[in-house]
Amino acid sequence: MAGDKEERQDKEEYEIRKKAIFDSMAQRGRERILRIGYENWDPFQQPKDPRERIFSPISQQSMAMVDEFYRAAGLSKESVSLHKELFELCRGLLMEESRARAIFDLCLWLKEKGLPRTG
């Protein structure tokens, strides 16, 4: 019983603090929160560690794939934006993201169609 009461108080305190943060935000910030859904918004969640994205096993595997592609295609890492896009595509494919899969499928389809390479 006592644990139940504490849990309700914690939840009420959480909602009061959440509403206070929301009310103190600028209109633009509130609109963004309302788009994702106020109930889905957690202002107290821990921020993601950016190093995790860079040093995770999937990211390391993606980087190795991009490096291997550069070697096989005889390309150099001239363009930072191209390198980033290739890395994101490899990472997305390894994480089974639908966006990356659609890009990959489009590339295969274009190759089947025999469209000429440019550039």
* Angstrom distances, CA of residue 101 to CA of 2, 18, 69, 95, 106: 51, 38, 18, 10, 9
pLDDT for the residue numbered 103: 95
pTM, full prediction: 0.55
Q: Predicted confidence band at 118 (pLDDT cuts at 50, 70, 90)? A: low
Q: Are 69 and 26 in the same domain?
A: no
HSE, CB side, 13 Å, CA atoms: give it for residue 46. 3
What percentage of the chain exceeds 70 in pLDDT? 95
Q: Identify the DSSP state of 38.
A: G
Q: Quick check: helix, strand or coil at residue 41?
A: coil
Per DSSP, 49 falls in state -
Within this chain, do residues 56 and 99 fall inside the same structural domain, yes or no? yes
The number of domains in the chain is 2
Residues of the domain holding 8: 2-40
Note whether 105 and 54 are same-domain residues.
yes
CA 2 to chain centre: 41
Confidence (pLDDT) at 50: 77
